[in-house]
């Protein structure tokens, strides 16, 4: 019979597209003793976690909570709750995650109208307005705030304003934006948004913070058809995560992962949102200066570049796989490969949350210099 | 501005329906440094985790892996992958989780035919055969092996044999059975099964081990309609969790929770499956003897009682909520409330995995004596 032993993972520096370096405080919190998912001790923690997520999303939305699964499930929660079969949804696509949104629309039995822009460019507001005019019965506009596959920041505020002007709800992917750049859910009047724990929150992967506006909640409550997913049905989940002392069992919450999320949100609160954004911007500038000094070229226009995800053109003649393997093996350093049409052509260097430090930039630049020379 | 501080949870003894006490080795494993979800270091761990799950499920099924979400999502994965709109599914219901299975069938657009038995009794095989005869086009028989809401073990082997005789696939809920009693996926020829991390595996909640037979995989591959859930689509997930060295990104795996699951499975492997079942049976006998000595009455017939979940009748005149609150506040001891029609009428005392010890039985009996006197 095969024998097995405990797994001691490598000690990496995580500068890819996520997971990012998890702070020891967060790892420590996660290892605390498990309590029941209906324990008053845990319910108090749930309430704090919701309040801290409201802070992070800059929202008063009552339905702000973590979905018990990764960001992909958070995305699915937004679509299967807001969209019904036969609805029309306009999806802005300029990378992998816009494409995934369209897939969610189709699997919800709805019609997807796409507004497509080149990877590495922003969603074109004129094209979006044309699509809104051409589809007067469209119910939702869906877009990605920070495209993890391309390093582009879309103009969330303007996209949401345009959608509202044409009477549409908005679904915003904030997986990579939350905690790294401004995400102003109430100010921008976003109706549904979701994020991931493992990006700029620097928590362990596996949890997806979501927030739904009161208008979105009304739409979910007055659906004609049941939500196709029992696990993600917000009408049921509010009985557990909702307001009030009495919580009804829906599913068993991932208690220890919520400990971790709570601790990571406390750390964000301690630093302050604005300070966190400033840190991401400053450290990003340092990384870009260092990369350009080495003759490397950034792939995204400065005007809408994400500080937390730096997409770099792989120089002619450099072997992508070999370079990343040497960084991993010789430096315990992970940077991200290109996704989709950028495979082999781009690197994605993350500066997310706890990984967004001067030390990491110095280390990454030194490692890259060593491997590329 | 409100201030927040790190949360130090209570140190409970978890003898409810799950989560159960998590062993310090498992908590420790979970707090190890996070690596990327495509890191070769993590892929090696994924392969070991799959092999250990095959051991736990007693199966050679290639598609045996953990779903990145709680058992409720594992249940949904089984249904949305195997069932298509218009299919007929026979669901055996004798508790909360059978009812939830029916809900999954309906939300998959399929027809649910139910075989209903009283809570606290086994599924009646004659009734099931009648339903199979009356529904010759039925595609799937779904049943709960260990009903967490009632403490009943259904006869999985006979249910599966009957389903097969009538040409049906089987979906088995093994959330509470896996690791506590025999779960013989290959011997019983189960086509799809799912479990939970937080029951007899004594891992943290949030992960759902699943296993699909080769026949089930063929059915999933040859569907006429796409799986309605993108997140749970096994056709996509196998690209990440499947065989071979190259893994395609689907979603970001909950890396640290997989560390925890791996460690809990190693502990099960070290003890040996049969020894774990014997421990559950022996400690259960001790608990029952102690409860009966106190004049308490077990709710389930000895012939099909679950050792890991002991359902006890609440004596006349005893206040359910007050009793459990005192156990929690004065003894840091969690036992489970009754669910559904058993609310206020039953307690559910779990003896699951690492919580299934002589020490816990002694403690629980002493606490109950103190509170009930």
pLDDT tens, position by position, A275-319: 999 999 999 999 999 999 999 999 999 999 999 999 999 999 999
Average of per-residue pLDDT values in chain A: 97
Q: Which residues pair with A93 in a beta bridge?
A: A116
pLDDT tens, position by position, A105-116: 999 999 999 999
Q: How far does B265 lie from chain A, in Å, by closest CA?
A: 10
Encoding tokens for residue A115? 């507004």
Q: How far is B102 from B96, CA to CA, in rounded Å?
A: 10
pLDDT grade, residue B244 (50/70/90)? low
**Hey, are the CB atoms on B29 and A12 less than 8 Å from each other?**
no
| pLDDT, position B95 | 97
Collapsing DSSP states into helix, strand and coil, what is residue B198?
coil
pLDDT of residue A246 exceeding 70, the answer is yes
| pLDDT, position A244 | 63
| pLDDT, position B230 | 98
| pLDDT, position B247 | 87
**Hey, are the CB atoms on A39 and B8 less than 8 Å from each other?**
no
Residues in chain A closer than 8 A to B72 (CB atoms):
230-231, 250-252
| pLDDT, position A93 | 98
Find the mean pLDDT for residues B225-231.
98
Find the mean pLDDT for residues B175-190.
98
pLDDT tens, position by position, B118-171: 999 999 999 999 999 999 999 999 999 999 999 999 999 999 999 999 999 999
User: How many interchain CB pairs under 8 A, A with B?
Assistant: 261
Q: Does A235 touch chain B (CB under 8 A)?
A: no
| pLDDT, position A3 | 85
Find the mean pLDDT for residues B288-301.
98
Q: What are the structural domains of chain A?
A: 13-18+273-372 (3.90.1150.10), 25-269 (3.40.640.10)
| pLDDT, position B294 | 96
Backbone torsions φ then ψ of B54, nearest 5 degrees: -60, -40
For B205, the closest of A37, A107, A260 (CB atoms) is A37
pLDDT grade, residue B333 (50/70/90)? very high
| DSSP, res B67 | E
**Hey, are the CB atoms on A19 and B36 less than 8 Å from each other?**
yes
Q: Does B343 touch chain A (CB under 8 A)?
A: no
Query: For a pLDDT cut of 90, what percent of chain A falls above it?
Result: 97
**Hey, are the CB atoms on A33 and B52 less than 8 Å from each other?**
no
pLDDT tens, position by position, B192-222: 999 999 999 999 999 999 999 999 999 999 9
For A257, the closest of B9, B103, B257 (CB atoms) is B257
pLDDT of residue A245 exceeding 90, the answer is no
pLDDT of residue B2 exceeding 80, the answer is no
Average of per-residue pLDDT values in chain B: 97
**Hey, are the CB atoms on B230 and A255 less than 8 Å from each other?**
no
Q: How far does B126 lie from chain A, in Å, by closest CA?
A: 30
| pLDDT, position A2 | 77
Query: For a pLDDT cut of 70, what percent of chain A falls above it?
Result: 99
Query: For a pLDDT cut of 90, what percent of chain B falls above it?
Result: 97
pLDDT of residue B243 exceeding 80, the answer is no
pLDDT tens, position by position, B253-273: 999 999 999 999 999 999 999
């Amino acid at each position: 019979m095969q024998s097995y032993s405990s797994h001691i993972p490598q000690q990496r520096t995580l500068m890819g597209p996520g997971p990012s370096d998890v702070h020891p405080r967060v790892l420590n919190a996660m290892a605390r003793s498990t309590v029941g998912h209906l324990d008053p001790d845990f319910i108090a923690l749930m309430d704090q976690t919701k309040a801290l997520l409201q802070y992070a999303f800059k929202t008063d939305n009552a339905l702000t909570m973590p979905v018990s699964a990764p960001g992909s499930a958070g995305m699915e929660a937004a679509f299967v709750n807001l969209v019904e079969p036969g609805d029309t949804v306009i999806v802005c696509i300029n990378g992998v995650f816009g494409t995934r949104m369209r897939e969610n629309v189709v699997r919800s039995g709805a019609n997807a109208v796409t507004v497509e822009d080149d990877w590495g460019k922003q969603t074109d507001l004129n094209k979006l307005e044309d699509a809104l005019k051409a589809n007067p019965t469209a119910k939702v506009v869906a877009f990605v705030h920070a495209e993890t596959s391309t390093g582009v920041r879309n103009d969330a505020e303007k996209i949401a304003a345009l959608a509202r002007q044409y009477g549409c709800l908005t679904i915003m992917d904030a997986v990579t934006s939350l905690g790294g750049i401004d995400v102003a859910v109430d100010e921008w009047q976003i109706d549904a948004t979701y994020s991931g724990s493992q990006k700029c929150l620097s928590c362990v992967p596996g949890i997806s913070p979501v927030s739904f506006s009161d208008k979105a909640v009304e739409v979910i409550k007055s659906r004609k058809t049941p939500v196709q997913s029992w696990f993600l049905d917000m009408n049921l989940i509010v009985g557990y995560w909702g307001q009030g002392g009495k919580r009804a069992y829906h599913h068993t919450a991932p208690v220890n992962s919520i400990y971790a999320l709570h601790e990571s949100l406390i750390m964000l609160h301690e630093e302050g949102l604005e300070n966190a954004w400033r840190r991401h911007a400053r450290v990003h500038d340092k990384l870009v200066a260092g990369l350009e000094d080495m003759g490397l070229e950034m792939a995204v226009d400065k005007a809408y570049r994400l500080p937390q995800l730096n997409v770099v053109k792989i120089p002619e003649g450099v072997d992508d796989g070999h370079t990343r393997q040497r960084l991993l093996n010789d430096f315990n350093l992970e940077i991200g490969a290109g996704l989709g049409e950028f495979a082999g052509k781009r690197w994605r260097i993350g500066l997310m949350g706890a990984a967004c430090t001067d030390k990491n930039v110095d280390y990454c630049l030194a490692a890259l210099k060593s491997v590329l020379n």
